[in-house]
Structure 1
């Protein structure tokens, strides 16, 4: 996880809603943070654009367009976008938080993957891209870093940060390359042109990397790699990994053809080919059943009832044997009757033999452990009818993989029979219990009784919860966590004395009374602006209790001389025009700061309440343009 020590956003509440808890990652366009949506009480991932890019209006418009496009895309293999907004200089996306690791992390740890496992990762990736292509969107940056493998086995595609509707392709300037060189299609390199087939190319390169453990092109510079994408052909994976099946060679070469017209039309077409390739991959031989007869032993007869039934079918029905001594009169039947009877008997024997022969029966395939969608397609390919049963929890098998089948694999059934696939629901999940306002010991006990593990403890100030009691948990109360999972505890460090220095005395008095304090004011001669707090007791950030008395020392100005009612009066030139200072109290911090800057003032922002709304402002009234205005939130 990325360091958060020096990150100024950690601990802030963006837009009065998202409390930033830690930084997860930092990329070329944005940083990603773990945050708490205090309005909906859920953990989210915040993607916050770098300030240098936030100052570019065109980029901001593309960023907002991304949010609207991706938020409309609902697919289980796509990371969901919840919200988009701004807070001062910060432009952000609120997204689904997926704990786990990236496919790049897996490749670094394991190197190349077995063919079947590589396809079982690619199939949900292609399903996600296919859904985007059907909706008219192109990802443009398909690579292992943008594929998340969650702790419970799900595969998610993230960062449609440069996705565009195909119809809006004219917004892209020719010659501008957006993407990662190692996975960039020839048409992206040469003309900056992208469509669904560009994503197909990148997916083919990624499959090559999964099978071989390396990218197809190496070079000393990005341009040398780009040159090879345009002029070379991606080699077959088996040229580097001889055990790679030929069917996957064909899949990679088809997806990475230099001519877009020769590739699959979109990710859905490549998905169909990938599922078919998965079906043809050889399996490990099934273990011999424990009850199998040893070599040379004579098998037991078939079901006696079935044998008896077959015998009865060959016996003329309704004819009783003659009594002893009975002499039946001999009758002569025509030759044609004998021939017809022989034909009927032969047909009956043949039909009965087919009914009980092995040709009518087949074995239930081994589908355990593979994606339920892939398993359904394979079973239907073999002629079975398939039902999906209710998922069942399993601590070892990831979600949406086949846990068991009914009938079980290897059992002989009639061709075309119904197979029920029971998917894994992953490990059993437990709701985080409500331990707010409990002591640390009681909270740990309650968390343990619920089947979870109490983890690290941190402390933060609180105006509402007594010192030493639980303020909140992470994950938050009610979140479903894997059985045995860790719950971090946040304890209240008690109420700390707010820093109201430099605030106007009347505003400081009102703010402190709103916090439950009992302030008194003492006037003192001072060079500071009249009516401004110059000292306070208790000091800022001292531990205090609700209702405690507070003494504010306020400036009544100097003994002699004239001062302007704003900061740094010595910088004011005689005759300089005064500008009305907008009263931005109770407005959102970002909007307030923008309004003051638009009026021609400099702005300093101080955090005191953490509500996201301005609670105090100094100075008020009039001041020359360029005066610094301080706002507290």
Structure 2
């Protein structure tokens, strides 16, 4: 039928941007169109949701969120999502257009594939799913229809997140299966939940189909197929097509195990196994396995007959479906229409059949009750990111709660869960992970410029203690007040931890003894001290400071008074030794002028004095790198000790 006559979207400018040119495909939940993005002038594929889904506001909201998540995925084997939007009743996705065919079309055209080629298709599919699983996305509907083979041989996976969007909408309820029945894992059938291992199961079914040309289970109805997923093991591909290597059988068997805990934990784990199997194939293993004449066993023939697809049902059963689970509580045979049943059986046969059906119902109910509930794992102490992944793989919806302080559990590790470890809950329930905030920490309060007593009180008030107290001279902070703390103000410290204080010692009185009166007075007055001088007779050169009060190194306040005791010389006058009369036969000393090195760099001053032939003694006042005083001065004999202050 010409779709241009029946599809109102063809020829329309969707959302004022995408000119719809033709319909490419139609599925159970959406139709895909070839369109031109008139804004960027590029060809795109536009997937438009069916109206029944677009009418559900919760579906639309969840679908938009899933589309954003998928758009963030960047992987060469995932069809890129460009845009998402709505136009009236149409909810759509704009995606990368891949010229080529779906894997379903390849299977219809070619039938089963050689082992090596089948693996070379599955491996990029697993790589794409692995990237999605790492990002926390589950596909939920892996099947050949959702795998594209580009004209250049690239393999692309499409339709991430659509089934999840439906699952979150009002269209479903507890006890509803979503997906394509031929690829649906047992847990999807029984509980409606899916995780990364459900995608692994679907890939295993798809690999079986690539190797054998058909799905492992056939039936008259979707429910009869679902029943077999729950109750039967997927047969080995080699039982249908002899010659398939045992390693490939093992890969399919592992991926399709009915117990999710025995499957590879995610697509990346299965990818590693698939690559290893591919590497181990001999060249002959890549050939299309064809059984020699007469070598097919009766069992294989029987299984092949069971697996024969019914062509008129194939299209219908390949669509993504929404199906109540309750139908599985009856055996698959009871779902057949009455017109298909044979002649009325004997009464004894009806009784036996009734007993078998009752036993099957009881067994199914027991199995479902066992599979419906799951124990909360003990995740305490686990890294919060790792714990979230473990919980999601176990089938829980996961929420990260508010952190709580704890002295034993490190920050960003699980402190507790709600419900607690060991509790039995319905699979898919919400599990809240409570992360540890680590030990409680408190910021160091601002106590600078407070007295030591006030600082101690403020630190104790916030739950910290004062540790070591040290003093440091300061020209700016008054004596007895806090200069700084260690750790610094604002730094978070474990509750009850120690804070060290540095208290101002005020000014330390400089030691100016042995300095000349003139230089000592000038220096002290420049520093803000008041100077009083007392002169006394002493056997030291006149004008030399011989004592001071407060003494050098004493703690004083700015503006303090300093009493200097200055020598007037000896009672009978002072003369330098060389000024005394020289003894007969002796030569007077050779005098050298002491260089004036005041205000010069200390290192340069020392070098200059030594070059002039003098010894040098350096004394520290306030630690400046400039010389502030020199004594003695004038002319002195070579070798005289000259003291400089800085």
Using structure 2 for the length normalisation, give the TM-score: 0.42
Using structure 1 for the length normalisation, give the TM-score: 0.43
Max Rg structure: 2
